Amino acid sequence: MIRIVTGKWLTTEVRSAVNEISKLGHIPLVTAVGKKDWLKYGVHMLEAVFTLLDDPVPLSVWAVGEPDKAIVRIEFKNGTLATVHLFQDISSTFQVSLYGENDYIHCNINDSYKMFRANLEEFIRGLREGRSVLPFEKTYNIVRTVIAGLESIETGNKILLSKITI
């Protein structure tokens, strides 16, 4: 099956990874690592993860660590487990690794500023055209996952996304 993924915000690295994803087979594990914190950059890491995984449905979020050293575990309905590591005190990086049953892909996004800027331009285009550029369900799932991550960082508890409504 060939997936068509479009969007001006997609970097060359993400497009390349999307084109190679079918060779991985089932993907039981995804890791994402970035500099900064969950509140400001969690959404961006999740956009990359959700895009690469073809918008999976998140079931639960459980954070460990601290606000400036967040490790957030996300369980998806399809059985994939993702961990997002956002640390303030590391060198600048934005990377996603996907580990499948048959192979793996490491996606190092070299120009995250360009990706963020293009993402904002797409958002503004949607406002000007009076329509959403991304499907509502994708945005809804990402935002609920960010909120669940914040709640879990605060409480230390595993948060079921079925309990998060916005």
**pLDDT tens across 57-100, in order?**
999 999 998 878 999 999 999 999 999 999 999 999 999 999 99
* pLDDT for the residue numbered 111: 67
Span of 13-17, 52-56, 80-84 with lowest mean pLDDT: 13-17
Assign 18 a pLDDT band (cuts: 50, 70, 90).
Answer: confident
* pLDDT for the residue numbered 5: 47
* pLDDT for the residue numbered 115: 67
Number of C-beta neighbours around residue 165 at 10 A: 8
pLDDT in tens, 100-159: 999 999 988 876 666 667 667 777 888 888 887 777 888 899 999 999 999 999 999 999
In angstroms, rounded to a whole number, what is the distance separating the alpha carbons of residues 30 and 49? 8
Residue 3 confidence (pLDDT) above 60: no
In angstroms, rounded to a whole number, what is the distance separating the alpha carbons of residues 48 and 52? 6
Query: Which residue ranges make up each domain of the chain?
Result: 31-127
The SS3 assignment for 68 reads coil
* One-letter identity of residue 164: I
Architecture of domain 31-127: 2-Layer Sandwich (3.30)
